[in-house]
Protein backbone atom coordinates (compact mmCIF):
# COMPACT_ATOMS: atom_id res chain seq x y z
CA UNK A 1 0.00 0.00 0.00
CA UNK A 2 2.44 2.61 -1.20
CA UNK A 3 -0.19 5.37 -1.15
CA UNK A 4 -0.75 4.99 2.60
CA UNK A 5 0.87 7.48 4.99
CA UNK A 6 3.24 5.48 7.20
CA UNK A 7 2.75 5.46 10.94
CA UNK A 8 -0.48 7.44 11.16
CA UNK A 9 -3.37 6.16 13.25
CA UNK A 10 -6.25 8.52 12.62
CA UNK A 11 -8.83 7.14 15.02
CA UNK A 12 -11.36 4.52 16.02
CA UNK A 13 -15.00 4.24 14.95
CA UNK A 14 -17.57 3.08 17.50
CA UNK A 15 -21.15 2.13 16.61
CA UNK A 16 -23.91 3.64 18.72
CA UNK A 17 -27.68 4.09 18.69
CA UNK A 18 -27.14 7.83 19.41
CA UNK A 19 -23.74 8.88 18.01
CA UNK A 20 -24.19 12.53 18.95
CA UNK A 21 -25.07 11.69 22.55
CA UNK A 22 -22.17 9.27 22.90
CA UNK A 23 -19.77 11.80 21.38
CA UNK A 24 -20.91 14.36 23.96
CA UNK A 25 -20.32 11.83 26.77
CA UNK A 26 -16.74 11.10 25.67
CA UNK A 27 -15.97 14.75 24.89
CA UNK A 28 -16.94 15.69 28.44
CA UNK A 29 -15.25 12.66 30.00
CA UNK A 30 -11.97 13.43 28.23
CA UNK A 31 -12.16 17.23 28.31
CA UNK A 32 -12.14 17.37 24.50
CA UNK A 33 -14.46 18.82 21.90
CA UNK A 34 -16.67 17.52 19.13
CA UNK A 35 -14.71 18.34 16.02
CA UNK A 36 -17.33 17.48 13.42
CA UNK A 37 -20.94 16.39 13.44
CA UNK A 38 -23.41 15.41 10.74
CA UNK A 39 -26.49 13.20 10.74
CA UNK A 40 -25.45 9.73 11.89
CA UNK A 41 -21.84 10.63 12.69
CA UNK A 42 -19.98 12.66 15.30
CA UNK A 43 -16.22 12.98 15.79
CA UNK A 44 -14.51 13.73 19.09
CA UNK A 45 -11.08 15.28 18.80
CA UNK A 46 -9.14 13.31 21.39
CA UNK A 47 -6.11 15.62 21.27
CA UNK A 48 -4.63 18.12 18.82
CA UNK A 49 -2.60 15.30 17.25
CA UNK A 50 -5.33 12.64 17.38
CA UNK A 51 -6.39 9.93 17.57
CA UNK A 52 -10.01 10.80 17.03
CA UNK A 53 -13.06 8.91 18.24
CA UNK A 54 -15.76 8.61 15.59
CA UNK A 55 -19.27 7.63 16.67
CA UNK A 56 -21.42 6.22 13.90
CA UNK A 57 -25.14 5.47 13.73
CA UNK A 58 -25.94 1.77 14.14
CA UNK A 59 -29.49 0.69 13.47
CA UNK A 60 -30.42 -2.46 15.40
CA UNK A 61 -27.57 -1.81 17.86
CA UNK A 62 -27.14 -4.39 20.63
CA UNK A 63 -25.02 -3.38 23.60
CA UNK A 64 -22.20 -5.80 24.43
CA UNK A 65 -22.34 -7.96 27.55
CA UNK A 66 -19.62 -7.72 30.22
CA UNK A 67 -18.14 -10.01 31.17
CA UNK A 68 -18.44 -11.82 27.83
CA UNK A 69 -21.10 -14.54 27.82
CA UNK A 70 -21.65 -17.37 25.36
CA UNK A 71 -24.24 -16.48 22.74
CA UNK A 72 -24.37 -12.77 23.67
CA UNK A 73 -22.95 -9.71 21.92
CA UNK A 74 -19.27 -9.58 22.89
CA UNK A 75 -17.33 -6.36 23.48
CA UNK A 76 -15.21 -6.03 20.35
CA UNK A 77 -12.99 -3.28 21.74
CA UNK A 78 -12.88 -1.11 24.84
CA UNK A 79 -11.02 2.02 25.91
CA UNK A 80 -8.60 2.20 28.85
CA UNK A 81 -8.04 5.62 30.40
CA UNK A 82 -5.31 6.33 32.94
CA UNK A 83 -6.44 8.43 35.92
CA UNK A 84 -4.73 9.88 39.00
CA UNK A 85 -7.62 9.35 41.44
CA UNK A 86 -9.72 6.29 40.69
CA UNK A 87 -12.65 7.07 42.99
CA UNK A 88 -13.01 10.65 41.71
CA UNK A 89 -12.72 9.56 38.09
CA UNK A 90 -15.42 6.91 38.58
CA UNK A 91 -17.71 9.46 40.27
CA UNK A 92 -17.18 11.94 37.42
CA UNK A 93 -17.89 9.31 34.76
CA UNK A 94 -21.07 8.23 36.57
CA UNK A 95 -22.21 11.85 36.82
CA UNK A 96 -21.81 12.10 33.01
CA UNK A 97 -23.98 9.02 32.43
CA UNK A 98 -21.71 5.99 32.84
CA UNK A 99 -22.63 3.02 35.01
CA UNK A 100 -20.25 0.88 37.03
CA UNK A 101 -20.06 -2.76 35.95
CA UNK A 102 -20.95 -5.33 38.57
CA UNK A 103 -17.99 -7.53 37.58
CA UNK A 104 -14.65 -5.91 38.43
CA UNK A 105 -11.71 -8.17 37.50
CA UNK A 106 -8.83 -6.07 38.88
CA UNK A 107 -8.31 -3.99 42.00
CA UNK A 108 -6.77 -0.82 40.54
CA UNK A 109 -9.02 -0.74 37.47
CA UNK A 110 -12.73 0.04 37.29
CA UNK A 111 -14.84 -1.22 34.42
CA UNK A 112 -17.77 1.01 33.52
CA UNK A 113 -20.31 1.19 30.70
CA UNK A 114 -20.80 4.30 28.60
CA UNK A 115 -24.38 5.44 27.88
CA UNK A 116 -24.59 3.04 24.89
CA UNK A 117 -23.39 0.09 26.97
CA UNK A 118 -19.80 -0.15 25.68
CA UNK A 119 -17.41 -1.16 28.48
CA UNK A 120 -14.42 1.08 29.22
CA UNK A 121 -11.84 1.02 31.99
CA UNK A 122 -10.42 3.66 34.29
CA UNK A 123 -6.94 2.58 35.36
CA UNK A 124 -5.10 4.03 38.35
CA UNK A 125 -1.86 5.80 37.42
CA UNK A 126 0.62 4.67 40.05
CA UNK A 127 3.64 6.33 38.55
Query: Which three-class secondary structure string do you get for 83-97?
Result: ECCHHHHHHHHHHHC
Decide if pLDDT at 5 tops 70: no
Q: DSSP H helical segments within 6-101, as ranges?
A: 19-30, 86-96
Average pLDDT, the chain: 89
pLDDT bin (cut points 50, 70, 90) of residue 1 is very low
Q: DSSP H helical segments within 1-127, as ranges?
A: 19-30, 86-96
**What phi and psi values does residue 29 have, to the nearest 5 degrees?**
-60, -40
Q: What is the pLDDT of residue 99?
A: 98
Query: Domains of the chain, with CATH numbers?
Result: 11-60 (3.30.720.120), 62-127 (3.10.180.10)
User: Are β-strands 99-100 and 109-113 bridged in parallel, bridged antiparallel, or unpaired?
Assistant: antiparallel
| Structure confidence by residue, pLDDT tens digits, 73-102 | 888 888 999 999 999 999 999 999 999 999
Decide if pLDDT at 105 tops 90: no
Q: Could you tell me the pTM of the whole model?
A: 0.85
Amino acid sequence: MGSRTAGIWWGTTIEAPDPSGLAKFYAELLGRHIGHEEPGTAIVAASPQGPFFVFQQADGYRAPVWPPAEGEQRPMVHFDFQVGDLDSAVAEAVALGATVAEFQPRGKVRTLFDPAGHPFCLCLDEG
